[in-house]
Structure 1
Amino acid sequence: MIKVGLIGCGGRGTGAAVQALRADPQVVITALADIFEDRLADSLHALQKVDTKRTKVDPHHRFVGFDSYRQLIDSDVDVVLLASPPYFRPLHLSAAVAAGKHVFCEKPFAVDMPGVRKVLEAVKVSKEKNLALVSGFCFRYDYRKRALFEKVHQRAVGEILSLSSFRFGGELPFKPRQSHWNNLDYSLRNWHYYNWLSGDIIVEQSIHSLDMMLWAMNGRLPYKAIGTGGRQVRIAEKYGNIYDHFAVEFEFQNGVKGYHLTRQQPGCANRNTVDIVGSEGTASLEVGRRYAITGRRPWVYQGPTNNMYQTQHDALFASIRAGNPINDGGWSTNSTILAILSTMVGYSGRELTWEEALASDLTFGPPIDSFDWDTRWPTPPVAMPGTTTVI
């Protein structure tokens, strides 16, 4: 039996727990943790509907509050699923790894560079302890994308010359304020809209597109970036302090340039693509629709499709069973750094190197180790390029 605990009982966390149940017949959900009791109760009900016999969460293993993550990790679980708002991710990951737990960790791994540095240490420890660390970068577990990037790595398009990615979509979910909520309640229940909780739209959502760009480059990292961003349609206070668009250029040491454009604006055309231009062809990826290469070695994916969310949990638990745990920590942290770098150049209007950004001590939120219901944290002002300081 593999005992699993879930920290962060929202929709993504509950989905991850369902996928864990389906990944291995001997998986049992034994503990749940969340800041909010109602969210924990909803998650428990959903999991019991999937499998009552293997959702064995007695009342003493339903942990609520800001220290609930610690209580769950200290309970007798083998695997921890981390799906709280990203602001909490470095704290939760470090605690889980220190306790010797295998981990499924949703993306992103952090929202700022001090958090990243904490994550880098946790990843190092996880490897030393031979712990599984599977990330929420689910695209890496999609058969179609794997096939396309394998072709790229085999030089099916020749030498990569440039990359571009787009993530254009509509508005995010929003929960109207209830009379019994204070400002902290409201922010935590609408965490997508606050940069100190989510990292802004590139870090929280478009990070998948940036991850695919690094995937195409086979781990090679850009050495600098420049960009812009702002708010055109998110003018109401309910939208917190995040942007609704970014545009960023990355430059690699070999002269290759990458471009990422993202927006969350309703009523506009949507797009979720990556294009890799090489010396002998172009690889084009339109998420969910088209995976093809044109040029000297034309190719179109015609194989099976899969549920990438389920596949990553299948792989996680199979690797634990085999005694050869998967560890996605290194490249997942690099993709998180790239996303935070993108936010920093968009917020400031500055050109920044990878090293300059990684050394930044900028944080948007309160000290995480002392966070509780008495914390009063005013929403930081909307960033203004040319004025906002990031290093």
Structure 2
Amino acid sequence: MAADSKATGTSSVSRRTFLHRAAVLGAATGGALSLARSVHAAGSGVIKVGLIGCGGRGSGAAANAMNAGADIRLVAMGDVLQERIDTARPLLKEKYPDQFVVDDAHAFVGFDAYQKVIDSGVDAVAIACTSHFHPVFLKAAVDAGKHVFVEKPAAVDPTGVRLALAASEAAKEKGLSLVSGFCWRYDDGVCETIKRIRDGAIGDVVAVQATRLGGPYVLRERKPEWNEMQYQFQNWYHFNWLSGSDPVQNLVHQIDNASWVLGDAAPAAAWGLGGRQVCTDPDRYGDELDHHAIVYEYPDGKRIYAHGRHIPGCFNQAAVIALGTKGQAFMPSRPHIEGENPWQYQAPETPVSMTDAEHKVLFQSIRDGKPVNDGRRMCHTTTLSIMGEMVCCTGKQTTWEQVMNSPLNYALPRYGWDVEPPIKPGPDGHYPAVLPGITELG
């Protein structure tokens, strides 16, 4: 499973919990009767789901979807790698014998598998594949009139963000639901903490600290039968063109929480530091940096200080601390407030999975015909994370407008195992790394 792996527990979410989340998130957008409601009302009562991306996170998303109700059926799945489907199918079938009904004819493999899943007669798709493809697959699903769960990030470059944002707006116009994988937005403790910050529990917020410090992503050893493109897809987290690098893959969760604290406002500018010190083994690690430090500067003087590192043997932390004039708020783990208005979140006796919760919101919206849409905030946070990666790679201060309008685009003209990847190791086996002060990114 990916370094940002998520729980797939089957804990139920109470009506009170569900309504609380909906109120905090502004989940239901109302409007026209959704496409799925008419389909659902006229059909058997079953919501058919297709899975795009069958690795650890994809399998987790499939489980979360089926946990959302007995009326959910997983009917199709697709991946570029046969082995991922072969691993996921028996595990999901064993755990969900009545809901997992993917037969051989609906287990698609290849770079066109996503379209085959979309065209297989499903009502909704869960996109949890290599992040490089998220915006293209999202657009294809919305174009086909499907409800969507799409993992974070929305894209790995500004061009992809613009595509994802356009698809999100199209989903809204079509009455389709779109839920993103920024799962802490669906966590009870974090939702309550944000509410208390809004109510003034820590006074005026002056800054937010966001940290995601841990070990490296899983690295699969190169096999003789793999060509370079196959190796990079097996280890896609380590290649910027596929993953967007650590701020876009991992630190993005903490950046999302920090942005939420500040009302999802746009920063005026950002600057940062980054480098590669440890994850530099030749012919193994790709081109991503192994540590980042980013400062987001807001027009009103507020700051987000974001730090990411994936180096073994170091202090680890995943935390967001909101600093106010009357105290500090700590999240997402063990949410609490210190200062003039101390508070500690009390979790319910039955743990609630935020990853189950986001799918419950999605599928309940389909049943009720009240579409939800996470698109704008999903794209906003993704842009923040890409901005952070860009300033660390270039060493330059960059404005929000520059990032929003950047032509940076990692998409290839064609995809296939016979295609040369955009980056390859040099004669010494090392993949070329960025050089702050010299590297330009759009």
What is the TM-score with the length of structure 1 in the denominator?
0.97
Separation (CA, whole Å) in 1 of partners of 2:329 and 2:182 = 20
- Residues 157-204 of structure 1: CA distance to partner in whole angstroms, max 9, x if unpaired? 121111111111012111111222111111101100000000001101
Separation (CA, whole Å) in 1 of partners of 2:309 and 2:417 = 33
Separation (CA, whole Å) in 2 of partners of 1:175 and 1:297 = 48
Separation (CA, whole Å) in 1 of partners of 2:404 and 2:418 = 31
Compute the displacement of 1:365 (Å): 4.8
Instruction: Tell whether 2:423 aligns with 1:372.
Output: no
Q: What are the within-5 Å matches in structure 2 for residues 175-254 of structure 1?
A: 175-237=220-282, 238-254=284-300
- The answer for the alignment partner of 2:25 in structure 1 is none
Letter in 2 for 1:207: V
Letter in 2 for 1:85: T
Letter in 2 for 1:118: L
Separation (CA, whole Å) in 2 of partners of 1:236 and 1:303 = 43
Q: Is the 8 A contact 1:174 1:190 kept in 2?
A: yes
Three-state SS of the structure 2 residue aligned to 1:222 is coil
- The answer for the alignment partner of 2:427 in structure 1 is none
Separation (CA, whole Å) in 1 of partners of 2:162 and 2:361 = 27
Q: Is the 8 A contact 1:106 1:136 kept in 2?
A: yes
Three-state SS of the structure 2 residue aligned to 1:181 is coil
Separation (CA, whole Å) in 2 of partners of 1:92 and 1:150 = 34
Match of 1:349 among 395, 398, 415: 395
- Residues 215-247 of structure 1: CA distance to partner in whole angstroms, max 9, x if unpaired? 101221211101010101011131111110000
Compute the displacement of 1:143 (Å): 1.0
Structure 2 segments unaligned to the other structure (5+ residues): 1-45, 425-431
Compute the displacement of 1:84 (Å): 0.8
- The answer for the alignment partner of 2:440 in structure 1 is 389
Separation (CA, whole Å) in 2 of partners of 1:142 and 1:197 = 28
Instruction: Tell whether 2:343 aligns with 1:299.
Output: yes
Instruction: Tell whether 2:343 aligns with 1:266.
Output: no
- The answer for the alignment partner of 2:366 in structure 1 is 320
Separation (CA, whole Å) in 2 of partners of 1:220 and 1:295 = 25
Runs (4+) off by over 3 Å: none
Three-state SS of the structure 1 residue aligned to 2:329 is strand
- Residues 77-113 of structure 1: CA distance to partner in whole angstroms, max 9, x if unpaired? 0010001110011110000011110001000010001
Instruction: Tell whether 2:153 aligns with 1:102.
Output: no
Compute the displacement of 1:35 (Å): 0.4
Separation (CA, whole Å) in 1 of partners of 2:212 and 2:50 = 32
- Residues 104-124 of structure 1: CA distance to partner in whole angstroms, max 9, x if unpaired? 100001000111111111011
Compute the displacement of 1:52 (Å): 2.0
Three-state SS of the structure 2 residue aligned to 1:97 is helix
Instruction: Tell whether 2:199 aligns with 1:150.
Output: no
Three-state SS of the structure 2 residue aligned to 1:140 is helix
Letter in 1 for 2:157: D
- Residues 271-318 of structure 1: CA distance to partner in whole angstroms, max 9, x if unpaired? 111111112221122x43x31112222211123241111111111111
Q: What are the within-5 Å matches in structure 2 for residues 85-96 of structure 1?
A: 85-96=130-141
From the superposition, tell whether residues 221 and 230 of structure 1 become closer, same or farther in structure 2 (CA, over 3 Å).
same
Task: Number of aligned residue pairs: give it.
Answer: 387
Compute the displacement of 1:364 (Å): 3.7
Separation (CA, whole Å) in 2 of partners of 1:376 and 1:51 = 39
Q: What are the within-5 Å matches in structure 2 for residues 326-337 of structure 1?
A: 326-337=372-383
Separation (CA, whole Å) in 2 of partners of 1:338 and 1:132 = 24
Letter in 2 for 1:332: M
Three-state SS of the structure 2 residue aligned to 1:131 is coil
Separation (CA, whole Å) in 1 of partners of 2:344 and 2:270 = 32
Structure 1 segments unaligned to the other structure (5+ residues): none
Instruction: Tell whether 2:49 aligns with 1:4.
Output: yes
Cα RMSD (Å) = 1.2
Instruction: Tell whether 2:169 aligns with 1:124.
Output: yes
Three-state SS of the structure 1 residue aligned to 2:175 is coil
